[in-house]
Amino acid sequence: MPKPYAHNVVRVTIFGNMFNGNEEWSTGFYLGHQDTNASNPTGAWQGALKTAWQTFFTSANAHISGDWKTVGVKSALMNANGTTDLANVLTDYYATPISGGEGGGSLPPQVSLSAQLGTLKPRGLGSKGRMYLPGVRTPVSSTTGKIGSTEAGQIAAALKVFFDAVNSSFDAPGKLITASHGPALALPGREPINVLVDRVRVGDVYDTQRRRRNGLTELYQQQSITA
């Protein structure tokens, strides 16, 4: 049984591929309101979303590898009971998949940099969200194992521009939120909750994220061992 939301929300999914389509990726976030339902997504909203994401994805300051492509965007209205409103699911594709704005190859697809979506709620349900950023390829220090603070700051600034554009769009079905389900059996103080996001943070350590193989087959090189 789907887990419920506090109110109807819109789940935004941005998707693409890399390595000539041999790997696929997706990332996303929620839009809505703290105390009422999100609006239905519209075609005008999809256009605004595509434009804002293209600005971010292709920015040199986002440090996304040109080997990674964005294919399209999807906005799906999620009912408060956790089901998808199939009459309000919009999927749009770029006329030509857009490429990340940085050359120099790619890190392995399992390597991902996460962005933390923060709220005014200090802790507990709805206090934080997470969005995995696709294709970031800035190198790590050989002494610290971390990316540079300058690059992390540039990525955070580029992401802020994107989310500010999302929130300010006249056609947006809501604002950027964390949409927490709560536990399967709701307890007092643990009910589903929507909280407005008021900050984005980008760290300096890569995460590991499972990727779905599409056509990337693995070839093995074998050597015999003398028994």
φ and ψ at residue 153, rounded to 5 degrees? -65, -40
Nearest to 112 by CA among 50, 163, 63: 63
Dihedral, CA of residue 53, residue 99, residue 138 and residue 47, to nearest 10: 0
Which pLDDT score, from 0 to 100, does residue 188 have?
A: 64
pLDDT averaged over every residue in the chain: 90
pLDDT at residue 133 is higher than 70: yes
Which pLDDT score, from 0 to 100, does residue 122 have?
A: 84
Cβ neighbors of 162 (< 8 A, separation 6 or more) are: 52, 53, 55, 56
Span 77-105, average pLDDT: 95
pLDDT at residue 186 is higher than 60: no
In this prediction the pTM is: 0.90
Instruction: Using the Cα atoms of residue 190, residue 191, residue 192 and residue 198 in order, give the sign of their dihedral.
Output: negative
Instruction: Using the Cα atoms of residue 127, residue 131, residue 136 and residue 142 in order, give the sign of their dihedral.
Output: positive
How far is Cα 88 from Cα 93, in angstroms, rounded to an integer? 17
pLDDT band with cut points at 50, 70 and 90 for residue 20: confident
